Amino acid sequence: MELEIIKGVGKKTVSLLNNLNIYNVNDLVEDYPFRYDIIRFGTLNDTIKEYGYIECEIVTYPKSVMIRRNFSKLSFDASIGDDFIHVNIFNRPFLKQTLKLNDTVVLYGKYDKLKNTFLASNIFFDKKNNTIEPIYHLTEGVTENLMRKLISSALSMPIEVIDYIPDSINKKYKLIDKKEALNKIHKPQTINDVKQAKLKLIYEEFFKFMFKVNYLKIKEKKANGIQRKLDEKTSSKYFDLLPFTMTEDQLKACKEIYDDMSSETRMNRLVLGDVGSGKTVVAAYAIYLNYLSKHQTAFMAPTEILAIQHYKSLTKLFKGTKMNIELLTGHMTKKEKNNIYDRLKNHDIDLVIGTHALISEEVTFDNLGLVITDEQHRFGVLQRNNLENKGTRPDVLYLSATPIPRTYALTIYGDTDISIIKTKPKGRKEIITKVVKEKDIKYAYNIIQEELNNDHQVFVVSPLIDNPESELTSVNELKGVLDKEFPNYTIGIIHGKLKQEEKDIIMNEFLNNKIQILISTTVIEVGIDIPNSTIMMIYNAERFGLATLHQLRGRVGRNDLQSYCLLVSNKDNQRLKVMEESNDGFYITEKDFEMRREGDLFGTVQSGDMVFKIGDIRENIKILMQCKIDSEEFITSNEYKEYDIYQQIINEISFLN
C-alpha cells in the first residue's frame, strides 16, 4: 500500500520517509523502534542524578537568546508543586511562540540543585501518564512525534501483513499474532508487551533468513563452475611477487582457493579475518589464478576510497605481470565509463575494481571468471547476484572483517565455504591499549605529542556530533580542546551528517597528511588504510560495544610502527579491560558474545554482514540457533511446500541454476 494513503501524507513526507528506506505502508509498520524510553514522573530530586521526567507549569514568558551561531538557549521559570525553578532548553528557539503562560508541560532532563535550574533536553505538551515511549531512527525533517503519528495511523488501517512463521511453529512457541506484535512493538502498554512482540518479530526475521541459507544448502546442489587447468609451479609464481612470506593461515586459504578454482564445482568461499590480517593478498592470489586461466575478475569494494586503495595496491603488486587493471567508479564521466565498458567486453581488461558502478546494466564481460566482494555486508544478496550472473557462473569470493566464531559463521553463511585467517603477519607490533581516566588525560596528550613529533597521525573518536545537553564529549567540543592543546597541527572533523563527497575530501586530506588529527564519530570508513596513523583515541569508550572498539582500533597498527589505542573513560568497564588484554578479534568477539551488549547505545560499527531490522545476533543468538534447527526441519519435512510465500522466497534466491 502506498504511503500517500495515510492521512496528511503528501509528496514531501514520502520523500522524507524514503530517506529512511520506507517506501510503503508495510515498510513503515516494520520500521521498529530501536529502543524505548520508560516515562515515570519523578520529583525534582529524582532528576538530580539521572535524567527523568517532571511535570510543571510555566510561570514566566519564555526568553530566547543566541549563544553562538546555531546555538541558542530558551529559558523560563516554572512551578512544580511548591517549588519554583528555572528551566533551560537548548536549540528550540521556535518554542517561544508555542509555550504559553500557565501551560502545563512535561520536561525531560536533569535538575541542577545548586543553580535551581532544570536543563531540559526534551519537552512535551500533552499530559502524560507513566508510559513506554518508542524511539525511532530519524532523519532530518522527521521527528519522533511525526513518526509515532504516522505509524499509529498506519496501524489503524486495514493493512495486510504477512506472517512468515509457519503455523506449527507459532503454536509450538505460543508466539503472538503478527498484527498484534506490530501493535505491541509500536505502542506497548507494558514491558511484557515489548518482550512478546520482540520474540515474535525477531524469531520471524531470523527464521526467514535461516530458511534462505538452509534452503540453498539443502536443496541446491553445488552448481558446476569453471574448471581450470592450473599447475602448481606456475601458480606459485604469485608468491614471488610478494615482498613478504605469507602466514600459515594465509597459505592455507590460498590452498583452499587453488583447490576450489581447479575443481569443476563453483567456488563460493568466504575469507574471514581480522582487520589487517592480510585478506587482500589472499584475494589477489585468486585473481592471479583467474588471470592464468585467461578469465576476467571483478572486485567490488563498498566505497570509492576503498576501491581506489585496492586499485593502487593491486596495480603495484601485479606490476611484474601483464595484467591489465582498471578502476570503475560512479564518479567517472560517461566517456570514461564507456571506454571501460568496451574494453571489458573485448577482454582488454583482466581485472576491474570498483564500487556499485560495477553492477550497472551496461557492464558486460567477455568471460568473467571470478567475483570478489570486499566487506560483503554492504551489498544486498540480490545485488550480488546481478554481477555473479554476468559470466558463465563465475567463482565467488567474499572478504569479511567481522571475526565471528566458526560455529556462528557456519550458521549464518550456510552453504558458503569458509577460510579463516587467525594469525597476524609477523613483525606486527601489538597495539598498546590503555584505559585513561579523564583526570589523567595529560598522559594521553603526551603520547599524542610524541607521535606527532615523529610525523605520525592521530584518530580521535567521539560518540556524538554536537549536543549541548549531553555530558558526552562531542566532536565539536573536542576540536576546541585539541586545537588549544596542539596548536601547531591541523585538525579535521568528519561525521555522519556530511555528504559522502565531503567525507571523501577530508579522508583524502588525512591520507595525504594535510590533516594530522582527525576527529570523528564512528563513521571512519571500515577498512581504510592510513599507515601513518599510530594513535586511536576513543572518548567515552564505555559507550561502545566490543566489536566497535575493536574495529576502530584496527584503523591503526597496520604496519611495523608501534601504535596505541587510548580509551578515555571514567568508568571501570569490563569491556575496556578485555580491550587492554587482547588484540585478537576472534577472542574479543567471543567475549562480546558472552558479555552481550549491555549499554552499547551506539550499536556496532559493523556486525556488518548481518544487518537485521530487529534481531541482534549477539543478543539473540539463542533464537538464531533455534531458527537454524527449525528451518532445517521445515525444509527437510517439505512443510515449506504448503506456503506460497516460501515459494516466492525460493524464486528470489534461486539464482544458481
Amino acid symbol at 634:
F
Report the distance separating Cα 472 and Cα 147, nearest Å: 26
**Residue in 99, 107, 246, 549 binding ligand ADP, rule: CB under 6 A:** 246
Q: Is residue 419 at the binding interface for ligand ADP, with CB under 6 A as the rule?
A: no
Minimum distance from residue 525 beta carbon to Mg ion (Å) = 11
- What's the grid cell of residue 155? 496501524
- Answer for which of 280, 433, 532, 533 binds ligand ADP (CB under 6 A) is 280
Query: Using CB under 6 A as the criterion, what x/- string covers residues 553-582 for binding ligand ADP?
Result: -----x------------------------
Q: How far is the CB of 600 from ligand ADP (least distance, A)?
A: 23
Burial readout 582-603 (b: 16 or more C-beta within 10 A, e: otherwise): ebbbbbbbbbbbeeebeebeee
Residue closer to ligand ADP by CB (options 275, 556) is 275
Q: Is 250 or 297 the residue whose CB approaches ligand ADP more closely?
A: 250
Query: Between 88 and 559, whose beta carbon lies closer to ligand ADP?
Result: 559
Q: Are 523 and 496 in contact (CB under 8 A)?
A: yes
The residue nearest Mg ion at its CB is 527
Residues in a beta bridge with 109: 52, 120
SS (H, E, C) 119-166: EEEEEECCCCCCEEEEECCCCCCCCHHHHHHHHHHHHCCCCCCCCCCC
Give every CB contact of residue 603 below 8 A, 6+ residues apart in sequence: 545, 548
Member of 195, 244, 450, 636 binding ligand ADP (CB under 6 A): 244
Q: Which of 275, 308, 420, 491 binds ligand ADP (CB under 6 A)?
A: 275
Residue 33 or 425 with smaller CB distance to ligand ADP? 425
* Pairing, β 104-112 against β 131-135: unpaired
Of 171 and 429, which has the nearer Cβ to ligand ADP?
429
The amino acid occupying position 567 is: L
Q: How far is the CB of 401 from ligand ADP (least distance, A)?
A: 6
- List of residues 6+ apart from 290 with CB closer than 8 A: 228, 261, 296, 297, 369, 370, 395
Least distance to ligand ADP, CB of residue 543, Å: 25
Residue type, 166: P
Lay out the sheet containing 564-568: strands in order across: 432-436, 564-568, 533-538, 457-461, 517-520, 491-494
Q: Which is nearer to ligand ADP, 558 or 628 (CB)?
A: 558
Given the complex with ligand ADP, which of 258 and 285 has the nearer CB atom? 285
Binding segment for ligand ADP among 28-36, 83-91, 245-253, 498-506 (CB under 6 A)?
245-253
Of residues 484-543, those binding Mg ion (CB under 5 A): 527
**Selected range binding ligand ADP among 2-10, 241-249, 342-350, 636-644, rule: CB under 6 A:** 241-249
What is the footprint of ligand ADP within residues 370-409 (CB under 6 A)?
401
- Closest approach, Cβ 328 to ligand ADP, in A, equals 20
Question: CB-wise, 586 or 643, nearer to Mg ion?
Answer: 586
Which residue in the block uniquely carries the three cell numbers 531470523?
Answer: 206
Counting residues that bind ligand ADP (by CB under 6 A) gives 15
CA distance 230 to 263: 10
Closest separation in Å from C-beta 452 to ligand ADP? 23
What does 558 interact with, of ligand ADP, Mg ion, none (CB < 5 to 8 A by kind)? ligand ADP
Phi (first) and psi of residue 43, to 5 degrees:
-85, 170
Q: How many residues bind Mg ion (CB under 5 A)?
A: 1
Give the DSSP H/E element, type plus range, for residue 468. none
Q: Which residue is nearest to ligand ADP (CB)?
A: 278
Helix axes 11-19, 144-155, angle to 10 degrees: 110
Give the three cell numbers for residue 510. 588525512
Min. distance of Cβ 401 from Mg ion in angstroms?
A: 6
Dist CA 18 CA 487 (whole Å): 43
Looking at residues 510 to 549 of the shown chain, list those that interact with ligand ADP (rule: CB under 6 A): none
520: left (phi over 0), alpha (psi -120 to 50) or beta: beta
Residue 247's binding partner out of ligand ADP, Mg ion, none, with CB under 5 to 8 Å set by partner kind? ligand ADP
Nearer to ligand ADP, 279 or 597 (CB): 279
Per partner kind, with CB cut-offs from 5 to 8 A, the member of Mg ion, ligand ADP, none near residue 289 is none
Return the closest-CA partner of residue 434 out of 537, 314, 323: 537
The residue from 166, 225, 273, 585 that contacts ligand ADP (CB under 6 A) is 273
Give the amino acid at 614.
Answer: I
The Cα-based distances of 115 to 109, 348, 367, 471 in angstroms read: 15, 74, 74, 17
Return the C-alpha cell found at 559: 604496519
SS3 597: coil
Interface ranges with ligand ADP (CB under 6 A): 244, 246-247, 250, 273, 275-281, 401, 425, 558
Interface ranges with Mg ion (CB under 5 A): 527
